[in-house]
Amino acid sequence: MAKMTEAQKEQLLADRLGKGEKILSVDEMTEEYRHHLTNLMMMQADSELAGAYGYVPWIMKSPDIRETLVVSQIVKDEVRHARVMYRLLEGMGIDVDDYFTKHNFNLRVEEADIGTERLADDKRVNIFYYPINTWNDFIMFNFCMDRGAGHQLEDSLDCSYKPWCDTMEGIFKEETMHMAHGDQWVKRLASDPETKEDIQKALDVWYPRTMNIFGRRGSKKNAVYRRLGLKKRDNDDVRQSFAADIRKNCAVVGLEVPAWTPEEKKMTEEPFIPG
């Protein structure tokens, strides 16, 4: 039997995706599909690992022994999420051990605002370049970024690559638990007159940073992801869903959502990882 050409594979893939079928293996992918899938999964894996590293100091600096256990569990969850994602990438032909040794996932910057810039050659979402310096930062990271990640990763729950869908079911549940931890603490801190101002200041910092993670509105790369069934919504649709969620939750606890203006000229296409 003659081997299919890339054009034939592309037509077959388009037909299958049009019917809502799932892709099960690398052999079923076109080069385009594999490249874009690899890019998205690498972004998630690197973000999970960089996030875990950023949380580690708060195992030792948490306010009480209960929170020491909670933070330890969150770190464990994030490292395991990263490992699960890297195992999927190994199945895509990525030498994960070599990649891991060549990148500094503990890298952090002291700049107050890097906008949408990426500052290293790993693929983490750029919010993971910021250090978590206070307990309020840690809580607001749970409240904002874990919520933002949840909105962003919803599309992966029913994407066209079945192994990723299956993996995301467990990851999504645990990320929801991390977000709930932030929600509980924000309610507690916002209800206390002695801590409300500080948690509001943390929101003023982390909300704009989270709004920058979703990518440029009308991105051509995002349109390709949607054509391939790897995403379902435009970047800005996801951003606005997150923003509405934040407004609703802040209204309940009496916090004011800060203004955010998109940096249209600075927002670039998401990076592309060659396979």
pLDDT of residue 268 exceeding 60, the answer is no
Q: Among 133-147, 175-189, 192-206, 251-265, whose mean pLDDT is lowest?
A: 251-265
> Which distant-in-sequence residues (6+ apart) come within 8 Å of 229 by Cβ?
17, 159, 160, 161
How would residue 3 be classed by pLDDT, with cut points 50, 70 and 90? confident
Q: Which two tokens stand for residue 229?
A: 């069934």
Mean pLDDT over 97-105 rounds to 96
Domains of the chain: 29-109+120-253 (1.20.1260.10)
Q: Which of 146, 163, 173, 164 is nearest to 245 (CA)?
A: 146
pLDDT at 2: 60
Q: Which helix (H) or strand (E) holds 234?
A: none
Mean pLDDT over 253-261 rounds to 95
pLDDT of residue 266 exceeding 80, the answer is no
Mean pLDDT over 235-261 rounds to 96
Q: Considering the entire predicted model, what is its pTM?
A: 0.91
> What does the pLDDT look like over 19-63, one tens digit per residue?
999 999 999 999 999 999 999 999 999 999 999 999 999 999 999
Q: How far apart are CA 271 and CA 22, in angstroms?
A: 25
How would residue 267 be classed by pLDDT, with cut points 50, 70 and 90? very low
Mean pLDDT score of the chain, rounded to an integer?
A: 92
What torsion, rounded to 10 degrees, do the Cα atoms 106, 109, 135, 61 define? 40
Mean pLDDT over 66-88 rounds to 97
Cα–Cα distances in angstroms (integers) from residue 131 to residues 55, 86, 238, in the given order: 9, 24, 25
Cβ contact 85:44 at 8 Å: yes
For residue 251, count other CB atoms closer than 10 A to its CB: 11
Mean pLDDT over 1-15 rounds to 81
Instruction: Please state the φ and ψ torsions of residue 130, each to the nearest 5 degrees.
Output: -85, 140
How would residue 264 be classed by pLDDT, with cut points 50, 70 and 90? low
Mean pLDDT over 239-255 rounds to 97
